[in-house]
Structure 1
Amino acid sequence: MESKWRKAKVALGLNLCVYVPRTSDDSPPSLEAAGRFSDVSSTSSVTGNPDSRPAMPTTPIPSSSGLRLPKNGSGSLKRTCAICLATMTPGDGLAIFTAECSHAFHFQCIASNVKHGSQTCPVCRVKWREVPFQGPSSDLIHGKARINPVDWPQDDAWMTVLRRLPPSRPDSLRPIASPFQAPEPSLFNDDDPLEIQPLSAERISSSNDDLDKNPNRTMDLKTYPEVSAVSRLTSLDSFNVLIHLKAPVASSGQNMAIGEADMPATSQTSRAPVDLVTVLDVSGSMAGTKLALLKRAMGFVIQNLGPSDRLSVIAFSSTARRLFPLRRMTDAGRQHALLAVNSLISNGGTNIAEGLRKAAKVMEDRREKSPVGSIILLSDGQDTYTVSGPVGSQPRPNYQSLLPSSVRGASNTGHQIPVHAFGFGADHDAASMHSIAEASGGTFSFIEAEGVIQDAFAQCIGGLLSVVVQESLVEIECVHPALRLCSVKAGSYSSHVMDDARTGYIDVGDLYADEERDFLLSVNVPAVQESTDMTSLVKVRCVYKDPVTKERLTLEGDEVRIERPQIAGQSVVSIDVDRQKNRLQAADAMAGARAAAEHGDFTGAVSILEGCRRALAETASARAGDRLCVALDAELKEMQERMASRKMYETSGRAYVLSGLSSHSWQRATTRGDSTESTSLVQAYQTPTMVDMVTRSHSMLLGRPTAEPLIRRARSIQVRTQPR
């Protein structure tokens, strides 16, 4: 009776979030490979002699999140570790750890996972009461494995970070090394054709009618002067005007489960299709848990791309290889992509530049182009082929020169192919990854904990799959004849003031659904002698393209005016303007602190951040209890702690600060540290579609409905008070 109950628990424990759809042209070798990746074995004890392990069921059990594993009799008899994906065979000398949730792993693999702070099962995400840690080598020689209760302090001297896969059977290897050696075509023009039905004139007319009737379907453009009144006889050299942009809300099609196989193909008319190239580090340092979690994250990305979206995967180590061309993520396309990703193993060095060149070639050579194109880059190490010398050494390579013009965005319409870079762990080159993202118009995220890879990817594609505005350009024109533009503060967005200082523009580019952008203009306010009640300062308009209808639209903003009384009373500062001044001041402090830390002045770096915190506390918005100021203060305090010493700065401080600077400069959400759900300012830029995708990621891992938490989380991220 006890044996049957244990077998039932083992069967119910199979809850991997992997889905390989079946098609009529499936070949047995491919399905066998999928089975080898998907199957998970469970053992009865922590031991090096797993003879008492129960047999695996011949048919995997569907997971609670609705994703199914393929039926495969031959593959299901394999016993594999869910982390390294290598076979757990009797007599191989490796200890097996079976968790309280019944999932089993190589002891060395799970010990490496626990070393990085994880206390949950990588398969079912159940929180463990006891976690494994690796003891002295003499213990493992005798087949013993130490178990550490979660509440006990962990001794780093007993733990080892493993950078290699356990030995595998020769017949079970599916190395990526052999595809690397196979010849590639000289042109990557073998992309799947786009299947987007052109909109008829009637549908375009109907879409325009919807825009007129529903204000949420159009851009929102508002302007705010720093104060509402300036004395008639007073002249100001630097008067701030805030420009606030808000993209249209997401359509219903963008909030649905995009990758579900049974979804009707209506998303073509509700959002812009995406061409996505992922550039994945599979060097030797990615062995074990890292590679397994990367595969799981890529599985999530593949599942959530729609049939009109196209994906290509580049894997790089010492060299780079395109695993498959841009393919539409239909059922057959997803199966092909999943099998290719699941076949990856880690080996070799780290050649980031070669991976980027290959990704850019995929984008450049494609025969057809989807409206939205992007590259996702993930690496956990230093580029051992392009970068020579430590981070602080000179000279360092200019990654901008390595990126093709199509990636750098040489045209006047903005960045064509942004690279969203993800630095993984404590050993990656944050400075180079940030440089790559900045050069292309993408963001840089810092993934500190291994278990956050999928959530970080989910947040990123949640934005990419909701682009509602393209090629947006903000045009500024002075109205009063004596008025001049002094400066435009737009972060990393390209801006320009003409020679006459009377006109200027900001190149905003693409916007995700519900995204907001805030820009500060500085103008001079002249004194006026004539009797007048109002002075017109500037007028602003926004020109942009609808990525679905391809139409160019123009949105006119209200003219910015201020009152000009003979004697002005006490000026009331606009909270909206003051809030953005604080954001820019905090970003400047972060950049200054980073420069000091790079020169080894960590005391000075902490002092800069502390001084900014004190200054922000005295502002009008902070005294009014503005939540953005509270979040800024918390973020600056976190950076102070990560800059307290050279070791802390090099381990996580540099990457944390650069990710924050990337988020502020583009006003777009990035992953920072060990979570996408912190109270820091990063969440002020997170859109509802990003929240939806992160929640879906949690749902896949936890296997339970998340509708109510989604609503709560969507409300909780509104850190920034909306302009009135």
Structure 2
Amino acid sequence: MTSKWRKAKLALGLNLCVYVPRTLEDPPSNNLDASTDRLSSAALLSPGNWDVDGPRPMTPTPSSHGLKLYRSGSKSSKQTCSICLNKIKQGGGHAIFTAECSHSFHFHCIASNVKYGNQICPVCRAKWKEIPSQVPCPDPSQRSASRNPIRWSRDDAVVTMLRPPPRRDSHRRHIVPVFQAPEPGVFDDDEPLDLQPVVVEKNSCSEVANGNSSRTLEVRVYPEVSAMPRSTSQDNFSVLVHLKAVAAAGGQNLSQNNVSFPQVAQTPRAPIDLVTVLDISGSMAGTKLALLKRAMGFVIQNLSSADRLSVISFSSTARRLFPLRHMSDVGRQQALQAVNSLVANGGTNIAEGLRKGAKVMADRKQKNPVASVILLSDGQDTYTVSGSGENRPQPNGHPLLPLSINGSDNSGFQIPVHTFGFGTDHDSSAMHSISETSGGTFSFIETEAAIQDAFAQCIGGLLSVVVQELQVTIESLHPSLKISSLKAGSYPSRVMANGCSSSIDVGDLYADEERDFLVSINIPAEASSSETSLLNVRCIYRDPLTKELTSTEAEELTIKRPEIAGEEIVSIEVDRQQNRVRAAEVMAQARAAAEQGDLAIAASILENCRRALSESLSAKSGDRLSIALDAELKEMQERMTSRHVYEASGRAYILSGLSSHSWQRATARGDSTDRSSLVQAYQTPSMTEMLTRSQATLLGSPSTQRLMQPLLSLGSHPKPR
């Protein structure tokens, strides 16, 4: 073996080296016996470790005896590439790379694994001094004997160039990779879409106006009370507009028994373009980064071949690991290898990460119907300074949020950014502002183990979009009736100057997702009529599969006008939503008081709201939303017991709650050691099923539990500031 490496070093001096075959009489390396049972990150990301039946991926997997990896001297290790699990055969047109630890790989497999700076053997975790890089094989006629004293192999499509070990930053403990693939100036290298027509059952998306019972969107309207005396008028009368996106028949088959492989939906769904922007700064080292890799592995395995994914990593700078790529078998393998190569070091440049993520979306040549960005960070941006001179974002999310990502550059292009604040040191105000401006949600991940569950809940929704570009129009049906205001949370809404009409821009809805909007109107007195027509509600939206515009209307809303006051039926639906709106407003008031240092006043505001909610009709009837609101307000009170507690978790918890209520969409928040804390009032069945799938991979698999044990013993290094 020594003589062969001497030849390799000779070739290194000439800047060229080819693979030197290993003979059977070569003794196996003795320095690996103690490390053969150590885990590799590649094995961690492999779904083969999730103890489920199904097709095996092309990533490294443990043996059938659990986590025991192939030993360096075993026959299978010498004859099988540990990355693609296919046989290694000389003369088959594939170059072979044998590392100094004696493990062999197909050249194209290991080159993909190490091209992002990874120098760890995916089998034994030994640290390599030389790593392979792929260069074109010169034409045989151009190979000079003086330049290449070693015989070339005509069967090899590539040659191996040995690189020196990476340089180390003397001021940091982390390795700084020296090899990075260059990025193009324009990110228009996204993989093309499958342009075959989508097969949809006939009449599955018909307009309600045609009388078809199969609808994608249901619209209902509820008055505050069912009747009002004829001679009575009332201002600020509440009307509830309720929307529900109906999943197609059969829906997605999110089976708990199929927890590690992409969905096979019983009905078509809209494919997605997803960009994940991941913080790999120094404070993410150790367990945090390992759990982030595992969470990304879950995301990758649950995207279908129609979905496209791109990953951006950022620390002091940002880089694109790979372009928008279909999550086919090959795409998943390459994505897992890229994520596995991530190394934590440096500071936190959120703005640069978002800028690159927005560029991927803006430059793509083709677009899937659904698009979204996921941002995760555990720190504050240490590179971007606002116009006020402080290292904090402006209230509108700038300068961290690129103009192009929310349509502020007049491009008409808006992509929601779903942000995930990780730990107690992240800038929750900035993360909330970024999500709020872009139309995304903000989730607070308080403990490390909750990363995967939080991601699972988010993609469970993104993979079930059934309504897009939804716009709601509300019109008065009585000449004397005026619309005074709308309670629409963060959704853009308008009331016309004459008060005769209003509109709400809702955008996308997930399958089975609901939206509730309160409309405040005045009820005029009637001279003789026995009923009063109030409002007409009409919705226009686009089907993400057929791209066709569809319209639907609710029945005209009327109330009875008896001559003498009788027993009025109060709508519990309206009362429930009034509680939700009131609670959200109080959360914002309490947060404002806490930011001014008045924690006692903030806690008092929350307590007063809890008492008022307890006296409401819906709370007395045992309404689940009212009970959940009370528990949420109580939790916020407990996180305001001191300035330290509020800074560490209270602010992020409140902002995540505000994000959830303003968009009426589920967010992860708080400590998830009790998994029920992730269950929100706005959680859809698709989110619930994906969350169940995530928890099954975490809790139900013995091999996953064994994988987790070494990870939790890893240390975490302080972040450079």
Please report the TM-score for the alignment, with normalisation by the length of structure 1: 0.73
Specify whether residues 415 and 541 from structure 1 end up closer, same or farther in structure 2 by C-alpha distance, changes over 3 A only. Answer: farther
Specify whether residues 685 and 91 from structure 1 end up closer, same or farther in structure 2 by C-alpha distance, changes over 3 A only. Answer: closer
Q: Does 1:557 align with 2:554?
A: yes
Within 5 Å, give how 1:477-516 maps onto structure 2: 477-516=475-514
Q: Deviation at 1:509?
A: 0.4
Q: Is the 8 A contact 2:259 2:693 kept in 1?
A: no
Letter in 1 for 2:647: E
Match of 2:444 in 1: 446
1:457 match: secondary structure: helix
Q: Deviation at 1:19?
A: 2.6
Q: Does 1:643 align with 2:647?
A: no
Unaligned 5+ segments in structure 1 are 1-6, 22-30, 44-52, 62-67, 79-83, 93-168, 706-724
Letter in 1 for 2:333: Q
Match of 1:186 in 2: 185
Match of 2:383 in 1: 385
Specify whether residues 702 and 445 from structure 1 end up closer, same or farther in structure 2 by C-alpha distance, changes over 3 A only. Answer: same
Specify whether residues 479 and 415 from structure 1 end up closer, same or farther in structure 2 by C-alpha distance, changes over 3 A only. Answer: farther
Letter in 1 for 2:562: P
Q: Is the 8 A contact 2:120 2:126 kept in 1?
A: no
Match of 1:591 in 2: 588
Specify whether residues 599 and 690 from structure 1 end up closer, same or farther in structure 2 by C-alpha distance, changes over 3 A only. Answer: same
Q: Deviation at 1:224?
A: 0.2
Match of 1:282 in 2: 280
Q: Is the 8 A contact 1:231 1:564 kept in 2?
A: yes
Q: Is the 8 A contact 1:228 1:563 kept in 2?
A: yes
Q: Deviation at 1:416?
A: 2.8
Unaligned 5+ segments in structure 2 are 1-33, 49-57, 89-97, 104-117, 128-164, 703-721
Cα RMSD after superposing both structures: 4.2
- Give the distance between the partners of 2:454 and 2:296, measured in 1 at CA: 11
2:333 match: secondary structure: helix
2:333 counterpart (335, 338, 348): 335
Match of 2:31 in 1: none
Q: Does 1:18 align with 2:11?
A: no
Q: Is the 8 A contact 1:582 1:629 kept in 2?
A: yes
Specify whether residues 649 and 500 from structure 1 end up closer, same or farther in structure 2 by C-alpha distance, changes over 3 A only. Answer: same
1:255 match: secondary structure: coil
Q: Deviation at 1:71?
A: 3.8
Letter in 2 for 1:373: A
- Give the distance between the partners of 2:695 and 2:72, measured in 1 at CA: 27
Specify whether residues 638 and 214 from structure 1 end up closer, same or farther in structure 2 by C-alpha distance, changes over 3 A only. Answer: farther
- Give the distance between the partners of 1:58 and 1:70, measured in 2 at CA: 17
Within 5 Å, give how 1:631-670 maps onto structure 2: 631-670=628-667
- Give the distance between the partners of 2:478 and 2:288, measured in 1 at CA: 60
Letter in 2 for 1:197: Q
Q: Deviation at 1:628?
A: 1.1
Q: Is the 8 A contact 1:20 1:334 kept in 2?
A: no
Letter in 1 for 2:430: S
1:340 match: secondary structure: helix
Match of 1:568 in 2: 565
Match of 1:700 in 2: 697
1:460 counterpart (446, 458, 461): 458
Q: Is the 8 A contact 1:491 1:666 kept in 2?
A: yes
Specify whether residues 611 and 331 from structure 1 end up closer, same or farther in structure 2 by C-alpha distance, changes over 3 A only. Answer: same
Match of 1:532 in 2: 529
Q: Deviation at 1:218?
A: 2.3
Q: Is the 8 A contact 1:434 1:443 kept in 2?
A: yes
Match of 1:159 in 2: none
Q: Deviation at 1:314?
A: 0.4
Q: Deviation at 1:695?
A: 1.1
1:671 match: secondary structure: coil
- Give the distance between the partners of 2:102 and 2:65, measured in 1 at CA: 10
2:45 match: secondary structure: coil
Q: Deviation at 1:568?
A: 1.4
1:518 match: secondary structure: strand
- Give the distance between the partners of 2:668 and 2:389, measured in 1 at CA: 22
Identity %: 59
Letter in 2 for 1:457: F
Match of 1:616 in 2: 613
Size of the aligned set, in residue pairs, is: 585
Letter in 2 for 1:358: K
- Give the distance between the partners of 1:677 and 1:525, measured in 2 at CA: 48
Specify whether residues 231 and 260 from structure 1 end up closer, same or farther in structure 2 by C-alpha distance, changes over 3 A only. Answer: same
Specify whether residues 463 and 654 from structure 1 end up closer, same or farther in structure 2 by C-alpha distance, changes over 3 A only. Answer: same
- Give the distance between the partners of 1:40 and 1:598, measured in 2 at CA: 55
Match of 1:316 in 2: 314
Q: Deviations over 1:287-345 (max 9, x none)?
A: 00000000000011000000000000000001111111000111111111111100000
Q: Deviations over 1:128-160 (max 9, x none)?
A: xxxxxxxxxxxxxxxxxxxxxxxxxxxxxxxxx
689-698 or 434-443, larger mean C-alpha shift? 689-698
- Give the distance between the partners of 1:455 and 1:319, measured in 2 at CA: 28
Match of 2:541 in 1: 544
1:474 counterpart (452, 472, 475): 472
Match of 1:431 in 2: 429
242-251 or 293-302, larger mean C-alpha shift? 242-251
Q: Deviation at 1:403?
A: 3.2
More contact order relative to length (CA 8 Å, sep ≥ 6): 2
Within 5 Å, give how 1:90-169 maps onto structure 2: none
Q: Deviations over 1:535-565 (max 9, x none)?
A: 0111101111111111111111011111111
Higher gyration radius (CA): 2
Q: Is the 8 A contact 2:207 2:551 kept in 1?
A: no
1:685 match: secondary structure: coil
624-633 or 426-435, larger mean C-alpha shift? 624-633
1:506 match: secondary structure: strand
- Give the distance between the partners of 1:222 and 1:409, measured in 2 at CA: 32
